[in-house]
Amino acid sequence: MTESVIHNQPVSGLLPDSQQRPATGQPQPVDQVTSERSRNRLSFLVDPRTLVVLLLLTFMGSLAYQQWNDPQRYFELGMTGVRENDRAKIERAAVALRDKPAYRMQHAFLSASLLVRDGQPERAIQLAISSQDHPDVEIQSRVLAGEAAYQLGAAGNAKLFWEDALLLNAQCVEAHQWLGVLYFDLGAMENSLLHLKSVSYLSPKDPRPDRFMGLINRDYERPEEAIKHYLESLRRSPRQPDVDTVRLELAECHIKLRQYEAAMESLSRCADSPQKVRLTARCLMNLGSLDDARRLAQQILQVDPKNLKTLDLNAEIALIDGDVQRAADLLRTAVQVDPFDHGVRSRLAQVVARLGLDDEHRQHAQRAEELQDLWRQFSDLQVDAINRPIDADLRLQIGTLARQLGKEELALTWFKAAVAIDPSKSDTVQKLAKPQ
């Protein structure tokens, strides 16, 4: 009879050949089956190929763990965090290296970097100095110690740290950057420009050093040099965050050199703003398009009626139109907006003289002369400051003159520079810095 139910089916075909029942049909003893299974398993375990696979897996696992827990890997992660100003990476590396004696100095450097970011320069400078002798961080630790010293107001010590870093590596970009900032804050602009040029050379894709050099040269009435640096900054990064500001400053420099077409080209790439309209109007006026210039000047006057340059521009156009009274009214408003601008006051003195107002003429002419003399002293002393980078008293004098010229923020900058050079001047500066 055919076996059709599973319980009655023969097991042959369902088991491996080694476990088939004997041809006699007699059932195989259970202990024999178990013994054969054990032998098969043992044969698998002692198979050389199995041992090789197990050893290979063990080795790869060990290698992966060592790589994952490699102190050097964490140190490199921390240094990447320092370069990218990524606090999370620095913290992760510092924690991983905390219990690694061989990386004690690297850990000290990374910890100091975190302390500087947390505004704790006293502790940071100690750790930075303690890591100076390790070749992995000997340069960076000096840069960091200088940054901490500068936070403490010890500009002289900061300068020494950064110069020491440059002795180890003359191409240390960070040291040049900090020295550029230091000398700018001290009013030693030529020294600042020297280091900014090095930064520009060493970081050929960074638009910031040339943008900064353009600003310095513009403020110091060197428009030709400013234009060169503005153009280089824009070449490196045509879409930098403050590109409109750069192009507006570039246009101002072109206008100072009477390069009105070049100024218009730069302005055409700027977004609409009151400053753009005002500069465009000045260019059109000088290019002979007086009607367009007048329309824009009046338009911007309605939008920004208390802007000194807008008032001055409209007064200039009024004089071209022969409306002396309107020019005088506009210039009087301009003097109220900025009573320390000797140029506007001098133009007002000339205009009221044309109206026969002799007393007002003498009043404004005398004050304009006083202001011009103060500006002359201020400019001369700034040149002296370039050649005397560590003269604190000179900077106090410049700050006092800046205050007399109504430049309160500039005065505070010079007072801060004096204290950075000589902390003992802090009491004097506190007295001078009180609002008047």
| CATH fit for domain 205-304, picks 1.10.8.50, 3.40.462.10, 1.25.40.10, 3.30.1330.10 | 1.25.40.10
Round the average pLDDT of the chain to a whole number and report it: 85
What's the predicted TM-score (pTM) here?
Answer: 0.71
Q: What is the mean pLDDT of residues 5-9?
A: 39
pLDDT-derived band of residue 332, with 50, 70 and 90 as boundaries?
A: very high
Residue 300 has pLDDT above 60, yes or no: yes
Of the pLDDT bands very low, low, confident and very high (cuts 50, 70, 90), residue 51 is low
Residues of the chain with CATH 1.25.40.10: 65-193, 205-304, 306-373
Q: Which CATH architecture has domain 65-193?
A: Alpha Horseshoe (1.25)
Mean predicted confidence (pLDDT) in 92-100 = 90
User: Is 1 a residue whose pLDDT tops 60?
Assistant: no
Mention the CATH class of domain 306-373.
mainly alpha
Read off the pLDDT of residues 204-252 as tens digits, 9 standing for 90 and up: 999 999 999 999 999 888 999 999 999 999 999 999 999 999 999 999 9
Residue 53 has pLDDT above 90, yes or no: no
Tell me, what's the pLDDT at 24?
47
Residue 380: pLDDT band with limits 50, 70, 90: confident
Which pLDDT does position 251 carry in this prediction? 97
| Confidence class for position 384, pLDDT limits 50, 70, 90 | confident
pLDDT tens digits for 138-197?
999 999 999 999 888 777 789 999 999 999 999 999 999 999 998 887 777 889 999 999
Q: What's the pLDDT at 151?
A: 87
Q: Please state the three-class secondary structure of the chain as a single string.
A: CCCCCHHHCCCCCCCCHHHCCCCCCCCCCHHHHHHHHHHHHHHHHCCHHHHHHHHHHHHHHHHHHHHHCCHHHHHHHHHHHHHHCCHHHHHHHHHHHCCCHHHHHHHHHHHHHHHHHCCCHHHHHHHHHHCCCCCCCHHHHHHHHHHHHHHCCCHHHHHHHHHHHHHHCCCCHHHHHHHHHHHHHCCCHHHHHHHHHHHHHHCCCCCHHHHHHHHHHHHCCCHHHHHHHHHHHHHHCCCCCCHHHHHHHHHHHHHHCCCHHHHHHHHCCCCCCHHHHHHHHHHHHHCCCHHHHHHHHHHHHHHCCCCHHHHHHHHHHHHHCCCHHHHHHHHHHHHHHCCCCHHHHHHHHHHHHHCCCHHHHHHHHHHHHHHHHHHHHHHHHHHHHHHCCCCHHHHHHHHHHHHHCCCHHHHHHHHHHHHHHCHHHHHHHHHHCCCC
pLDDT for res 420? 79
Position 36 scores a pLDDT of 59
Average pLDDT over residues 351-362: 95
